[in-house]
Amino acid sequence: MSPRSMRMPGLVAALLLSACSADDLNIIVLSARAPGKQCDFSDNTIYVSRGSLDFRPYTEAGVTTVTRRYYQVFSWESNLTSTPISVGGQVIDPGAGNTFITDSAVYSYQYSDPSITLPNETANMRAVITAGGTASDNSVPADLLQPNAAAAIIGSTAIDSAAQTLVVTLQYFGRLAAGGSKNTNKVSFPLTLYRSSTTPLDCSTVLPPGQTVSGGACGVPGRDQNVSCVAATP
């Protein structure tokens, strides 16, 4: 299962962008960038509308594990202006006061499996965008599956028989360099979650020999594809 990639014309932006509240939102989270062939999320013109994750366990070097995170990068922009401060004709602040410094992200979840309730989770982080920063030059990361959510879903059984949908909504909080708290809009990203098999995949036992578990572009087994084997790179 793989997400659909699209090329974004001009400033066509937000993926499931939540409506702005009555508060003046100047730091705007926009599209979810596609990882690209190098998983560097560097191309702001290609984005994804959703993702998927296969929780099938796999064995490497005798250790069995399960992928339990989904890293994503979003474009964002600042509509704040940079206002230099001068005293006696001398610039004492070039206008960095409106730089936004993120210190946390709050994740909330809507999940199709009614047997599981996933509470909000907060992750400490740091990301910075200067006043007037554009979406083409600025991005902010997110770990969409926070630890408690991942543990609850991996421990469930509904994903064994049918793919489930998890809608992750996140919002960033922080402050301006000059002082004063601020936050972004909310943005949502859907994930299709499933477990293609409960039997651990050990590629060292699969024919033809010389295979290893496939990690895709990002080197993460199960991200946007089934957990599977691929010929090892010499």
Tokens of 170: 């996140």
The stretch 41-65 carries a mean pLDDT of: 96
* Residue 6, pLDDT score: 47
* Whether the Cβ atoms of residue 170 and residue 142 lie closer than 8 Å to each other: yes
Cα 3 off chain centre by: 13
pTM assigned to the model? 0.86
Predicted confidence (pLDDT) at residue 225 exceeds the cutoff of 90 = yes
pLDDT at 87: 79
- The overall longest dimension of the chain from CA atoms, in Å, is 77
Task: With CA atoms as reference, report the closest residue to 153 among 68, 223, 52, 70.
Answer: 68
pLDDT-derived band at 23, boundaries 50, 70, 90:
low
- Is pLDDT of 15 > 50? no
pLDDT digits (tens, 9 = 90+) for 101-142: 999 999 999 999 999 999 999 999 999 999 999 999 999 999
CA 224/CA 129 separation, integer angstroms = 29
Residue from 39, 44, 37 nearest 7 by CA? 44
Q: Is the pLDDT reported for residue 21 higher than 70?
A: no
pLDDT, residue 89, reads: 75
Better pLDDT: 233 or 171 = 171
Integer Cα distance of 77 and 26 in angstroms? 8
pLDDT beyond 80 at 17: no
Give the pLDDT confidence score for residue 120 in this predicted structure.
98
Domain ranges of the chain: 5-83+92-198
